[in-house]
Amino acid sequence: MKQLTIIKIGGNVIDNSQNLHQFLLDFTALPGDKILIHGGGKIATELGESLGIEAKMVDGRRITDIETLRIVTMVYAGLINKNMVAQLQAKGNNAIGLTGADGNIIKAKKRPVKDIDYGFVGDLDENSISSTTLDSLLKAGLTPVLCAITHDGDMQLLNTNADTIASAVAVAMSSLYETRLVYCFEKKGVLKDVNDDATVVHEIKASEFEALKADGTVQGGMIPKLHNAFEAINKGVAAVYIGKADELVELEGGNFGTKLNP
């Protein structure tokens, strides 16, 4: 089975042009088939503010009203996505930039209103990802670059969490490829001491997760990230890595961040 690497990058890479340039160089150098998934960073918030549209957040999650949806679609699917594709082309990587609506690759459902109305936010299920379409693009020699905009199949675009998209894509593709999922963020990995980059936990097995939560090694926003990662592994993803974008070159040598195993 061929190997496929799925990498998700966040705003800390996107917001810094030098960091993004280096990351895309390292991404291009990775062997084998690849898919890149990205969020939006500060640009959508800054553009919205310049137009008098203030970002609304609840527990770190963006409320996507109709004005915000227009902004994030312009920024994620347009400015950021096409800038990345142009840079990858210049680096010899034949990339294609896509939303979930393109080729019906990611079909989401609008999040139901419970305690909070998140607006035009899309949730995914096990049938959301068109693995056959992604596979056909990879076989054509293309590198898909997916932004965080999905659709519901009934003309409505939706804003969907990029971490969630990355996990869902990895699970969907795991029946066709030996799939590894890489989350790139601002830390070197899971740290025993969040303020000390030298305390990276290099490997975590699913059986160790509860103990690491109990002793406080894994806490805060890292808990749902690891929970989602082990969910992906349980559904067929070969391995999940969490580490710093500017160290991606270490992935092939086995020294990148934290590796999560079954």
- Over residues 135-156, the pLDDT tens digits come to 999 999 999 999 999 999 999 9
Q: Of 188, 206, 121, 126, nearest to 161 (Cα)?
A: 121
Phi, psi (deg, nearest 5) at residue 201: -85, 110
pLDDT at residue 74 greater than cutoff 90: yes
Q: Under a CB-based contact definition with an 8 Å cutoff, are residues 8 and 38 in contact?
A: yes
What pLDDT score was predicted for residue 196? 86
pLDDT above 70 coverage of the chain, percent: 100
For residue 170, name the pLDDT band (cuts at 50, 70, 90). very high
Residues contributing to the annotated binding site: 40-41, 62, 159
Over range 37-59, report the average pLDDT: 89
- Over residues 203-231, the pLDDT tens digits come to 999 889 888 888 888 887 788 888 889 99
Q: Under a CB-based contact definition with an 8 Å cutoff, are residues 94 and 142 in contact?
A: yes
Two tokens, residue 131:
């693995």
Q: How far apart are CA 185 and CA 87, in angstroms?
A: 20
Q: How far apart are CA 237 and CA 14, in angstroms?
A: 26
Number of structural domains the chain divides into: 1
Residues contributing to the annotated binding site for substrate: 40-41, 62, 159
What pLDDT score was predicted for residue 5? 98
What pLDDT score was predicted for residue 192? 84
Q: Helix, strand or coil for residue 83?
A: helix
Residue recorded with tokens 């993004």: 20
Q: How far apart are CA 126 and CA 146, in angstroms?
A: 18
Q: What is the CATH number of the domain that holds 223?
A: 3.40.1160.10
What is the four-CA torsion angle of 183, 188, 194, 197, rounded to 10 degrees?
Answer: 180
Q: How far apart are CA 55 and CA 65, in angstroms?
A: 10
Beta strands at 258-261 and 239-244: parallel, antiparallel or unpaired: antiparallel
Element spanning 71, H or E: helix 66-72
Q: Under a CB-based contact definition with an 8 Å cutoff, are residues 15 and 9 in contact?
A: no
Task: Provide the whole-model pTM.
Answer: 0.95
Over range 63-88, report the average pLDDT: 96
Which segments of 94-149 does DSSP mark as H helices, in order?
131-139
Over range 155-162, report the average pLDDT: 96
Residue 48 belongs to domain spanning: 3-261
What pLDDT score was predicted for residue 219? 83
What is the four-CA torsion angle of 209, 214, 215, 217, rounded to 10 degrees?
Answer: 50
